[in-house]
């Protein structure tokens, strides 16, 4: 049976996104169908659309910061009913039996998780299609509950930018008195500041953009260090317990490692690929410092983050756009010109 829905996607790395029709599966007993109301725009959407990481299959329909309302539930669904708010992040499936999955670490599934887009579609074959679309069908285990008190559009970015920064904050046990630094004030960076501050940390922003100082302070940072200023960088030597690096492209991380305290960790969440220049082991060995990586978060952890945000009234700072403006939004994202996450109002795709 066909289940055609309108979507926005691209046919090739060098082409703009445009309206297209995609197929969704019919709901199975454990599935829910979600009418998508808002979808955040992550830098990973752009990387995927333009094949920055290789491996993009076309047509590609990005979008993994999805919020909406349940319109259908399968017979075996217990967590949701028709009319409930619901959210979907970066994962729509995993093996659910490996050691990682059993520990609620579906993002590290040993056989590979199914990404919300460009993942291997176990039902229809081909690749999964993301949230730049009217509706999505997902097995209920991978669907999140949305706190009712939060602004819905501004909640969407929590599903990737939120949990991607929450997960390392929790893993490295950030709490009251921790000294956390964030590199880059974009979608992930601004959520990292809000969440670290919410957990009681003292937060510093490293940025190349002097004009973001006021915003960083408003978002909860105590100070901002210009990463382009050598004197400021040297003055921060030995300071931070945890640094979350959200920069999307290759950059020199050595000057940041110097700013870690003894036992401190710099966790890469942005750039994916070989480091250039090389990482110097000297400060790491002499200060027992670590450089680590982290990818998104598991389902239980995502729910924990959403509940925390509900309790502390934390949402993303957003600019709402229509679906038809996505190509312009990508160009602005490349210039770091967004405060601090674009969110698509999906009514624009439905012609409402
Ligand atoms: P974004 O909104 O574009 O923010 C990135 C920020 O990094 C910019 O605002 C800018 O901040 C800084 N920056 C950009 N280009 C830079 C460069 N060439 N050198 C130094 N700084 C630069 O992107 P995002 O959506 O937050 O995503 C950030 C990265 O994380 C992307 O690569 C994305 O694919 C990745 N990601 C990873 C995961 C994961 O699970 N690990 C999840 C989601 C996204 P300033 O102007 O303040 O310098
Ligand atoms: Zn993302
Ligand atoms: Zn698994």
**217 and 281 assigned to the same domain:** yes
Nearest residue by C-alpha to atom 27 in ligand 1: 43
- For ligand 1, atom 20, the nearest C-alpha belongs to 247
- Is 325 part of a structural domain of the chain? yes
Same domain, residue pair 46 and 177: no
Would you say 275 and 257 are in contact if contact means Cβ atoms under 8 Å apart?
Answer: no
- Name the token pair of 58: 């076309």
Nearest to 86 by CA among 28, 131, 41, 19: 131
Q: Whose CA is nearest to atom 2 of ligand 1?
A: 186
Ligand 1 lined by 47 (C-beta under 6 Å): yes
Q: What is the pLDDT of residue 350?
A: 85
Q: How far is CA 123 from the centre of its chain?
A: 25
Q: How many residues does the chain have?
A: 352
**CATH no. for residue 240?**
3.40.50.720
63: CATH = 3.90.180.10
Assigned domain for 302 exists: no
Residue 308 lies in a domain: no
Instruction: Check whether residue 11 and residue 121 sit in a common domain.
Output: yes
- The response to whether residue 306 sits with its C-beta less than 6 Å from ligand 1 reads no
Residue nearest atom 14 of ligand 1, based on CA coordinates: 247
Residues 6+ positions from 46 with CB-CB distance below 8 Å: 52, 62, 330, 333, 334
Residues 322, 224 share a domain: no
Instruction: Give residue 231's domain range.
Output: 161-293
Dist CA 75 CA 38 (whole Å)? 26
Is there a domain that residue 307 lies in?
no
Question: Is there an atom of ligand 1 within 6 Å of 225 CB?
Answer: no
What ligand is nearest to the CA atom of residue 330? Answer: 1
The whole-angstrom separation of Cα 76 and Cα 32 is 10
The verdict on 253 and 335 lying in the same domain is: no
> Quick check: CB of 48 below 6 Å from ligand 1?
no
DSSP letters for 179-243:
EEEEE--SHHHHHHHHHHHHTT-EEEEEES-GGGHHHHHHHT-SEEEETT-HHHHHHTTT-EEEE
Q: Which residue minimizes the CA distance to atom 46 of ligand 1?
A: 209
Ion ligand 2 residue ranges (Cβ < 5 Å): 42, 44, 160
Closest ligand to residue 156's CA = 2
The whole-angstrom distance between residue 169's C-alpha and the CA centroid of its chain comes to 14
Which residue in 44, 90, 67 sits closest to 156, CA to CA? 67
Ligand 1 pocket test, candidate residues 40, 204, 270, most atoms within 8 A of CB: 270
CA distances from 148 to 80, 192, 282, 304 (A): 14, 22, 49, 15
Same domain, 9 and 128: yes
The CA-CA-CA angle for residues 307, 313, 315, to 5°, reads: 90
One digit per residue, the tens of pLDDT, for the chain of length 352 reads: 569 999 999 999 999 999 999 999 999 999 999 999 999 999 999 999 999 999 999 999 999 999 999 999 999 999 999 999 999 999 999 999 999 999 999 999 999 999 999 999 999 999 999 999 999 999 999 999 999 999 999 999 999 999 999 999 999 999 999 999 999 999 999 999 999 999 999 999 999 999 999 999 999 999 999 999 999 999 999 999 999 999 999 999 999 999 999 999 999 999 999 999 999 999 999 999 999 999 999 999 999 999 999 999 999 999 999 999 999 999 999 999 999 999 999 999 987 6
Is the same domain home to 7 and 152?
yes
Query: Is the shortest distance between the CB of 169 and ligand 1 below 6 Å?
Result: no
Domain co-membership, 198 together with 344: no
Q: How far is the CA of 337 from the centre of ligand 1 (A)?
A: 12
Residue identified by tokens 């974009």 is 186
Residues 134 and 203 in one domain: no
35 and 72 fall within a common domain: yes
Q: Within a domain: residue 299?
A: no
DSSP of 250-262: ----HHHHTTEEE
Residue 58 covered by a domain: yes
What integer pLDDT is reported at residue 351 of this predicted model? 78
Q: Are 154 and 69 contained in the same domain?
A: yes
Residues 51 and 110 in one domain: yes
Torsion of CA 233, 234, 238, 239, to 10 degrees: -40
Look at the chain and report how many structural domains it folds into. 2
Residue 298: inside a domain: no
- Quick one: which ligand is closest to 249's CA? 1
CA distance linking residue 291 with residue 260, whole number of Å: 10
Is there a contact between 224 and 212 (Cβ–Cβ < 8 Å)? yes
Look at residue 311 and tell me if it is in a domain. no
């Amino acid at each position: 049976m066909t289940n055609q829905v309108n979507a926005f996607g691209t046919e090739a790395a060098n082409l703009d996104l445009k309206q297209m029709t995609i197929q969704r599966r019919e709901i199975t007993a454990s599935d829910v169908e979600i009418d998508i109301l808002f979808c955040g725009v992550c830098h990973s959407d752009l990387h995927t659309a333009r094949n920055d990481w290789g491996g993009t299959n076309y047509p590609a329909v990005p979008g993994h910061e999805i919020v909406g309302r349940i319109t259908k539930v399968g017979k075996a669904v217990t967590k949701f009913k028709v009319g409930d708010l619901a959210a979907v992040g970066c994962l729509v499936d995993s093996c659910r039996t490996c050691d990682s999955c059993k520990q609620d670490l579906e993002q590290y599934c040993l056989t590979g998780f199914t990404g919300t887009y460009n993942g291997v579609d176990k039902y229809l074959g081909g690749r999964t299609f993301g949230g730049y679309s009217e509706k999505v069908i997902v097995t209920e285990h991978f669907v999140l509950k949305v706190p009712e008190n939060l602004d819905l559009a501004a909640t969407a970015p929590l599903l990737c930018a939120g949990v991607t920064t929450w997960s390392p904050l929790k893993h490295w046990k950030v709490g009251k008195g921790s000294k956390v630094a964030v590199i880059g004030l974009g979608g992930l960076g601004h959520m990292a500041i809000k969440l670290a501050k919410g957990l009681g940390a003292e937060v510093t922003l490293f940025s190349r953009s002097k004009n973001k100082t006021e915003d960083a302070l408003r978002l909860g940072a105590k100070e901002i260090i210009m990463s382009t200023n050598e004197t400021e960088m040297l003055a921060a030597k030995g300071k931070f317990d945890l640094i979350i690096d959200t920069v999307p492209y290759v950059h020199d991380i050595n000057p940041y490692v110097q700013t870690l305290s003894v036992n401190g960790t710099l966790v890469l969440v942005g750039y994916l690929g070989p480091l250039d220049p090389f990482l110097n082991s000297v400060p790491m060995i002499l200060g027992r410092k670590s450089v680590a990586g982290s990818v998104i978060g598991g389902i239980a952890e995502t729910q924990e983050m959403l509940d925390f945000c509900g309790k502390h009234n934390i949402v993303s700072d957003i600019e709402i756009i229509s679906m038809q403006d996505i190509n312009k939004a990508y160009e602005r994202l490349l210039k770091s010109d967004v405060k601090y996450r674009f969110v698509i109002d999906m009514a624009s795709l439905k012609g409402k």
